[in-house]
Amino acid sequence: MANSQDICNGESASGSAMSFRGLEENARALLKVVTRGINRELAAYDLTPMDFAMMRLFLADHVWTATALARALPVEVSAISRMAKKLVDRRLLSRRRSRSDRRIVFLQLTDAGLALSVELQNRIHAHEDRLTEGISAEDTGTFFAVIERILANSSAIEDS
């Protein structure tokens, strides 16, 4: 029977050779294939992942301020302002000043921005579906449960 050292060296418990990649290497590889497809979808519309992350927030809450967006993403307000200007210039976002405090600017998706956000969200879901083709719903559920457990373990480590 193989011991833990054998397994780490690429030998399974049955003694046969196996491909062993640790958590970090697998997570990095998975992130790479997921983000490559997302970046490909966004590049067709000259958007960055951060542009889309911001646009995606508007699908849940329709009106945001730059300060609230900066907290949610989290990035500097100045970066949000630059991204918002780019999206306003492309007519994907609109700006509206608060009537009670002219310093406050509300941002929201235009109809074109909403349509593009929904289309991109659907394209990204289709990419994810292609990546998980042939994987059962049960296996997908187990995969997500394992990820949640790892994240919970990490939080417990950080809190201790």
- pLDDT tens-digit map of 60-107: 989 999 999 999 998 999 999 999 999 999 999 999 998 999 889 999
What pLDDT, in 10s, does the model give residues 18-55? 456 788 899 999 999 999 999 999 999 999 999 999 99
Give yes or no for residue 16 having a pLDDT over 80: no
Q: Which domain holds residue 130?
A: 22-134
Contacts of residue 52, Cβ cutoff 8 Å, sequence gap at least 6: 38, 42, 117, 120
- What pLDDT is recorded for position 18? 47
Question: Does residue 10 lie in a domain region?
Answer: no
Provide the pLDDT confidence category of residue 136 given band limits of 50, 70 and 90.
very high
What residue type is 107 in one-letter code? L
What pLDDT, in 10s, does the model give residues 106-131? 999 999 999 999 999 999 999 999 99
- What pLDDT is recorded for position 103? 87
CATH number assigned to the domain comprising residue 62: 1.10.10.10
What total of structural domains would you count in the chain?
1
Question: Does residue 127 lie in a domain region?
Answer: yes
Question: Does residue 153 lie in a domain region?
Answer: no
Angle formed at CA 49 by CA 43 and CA 55, multiple of 5 degrees: 105
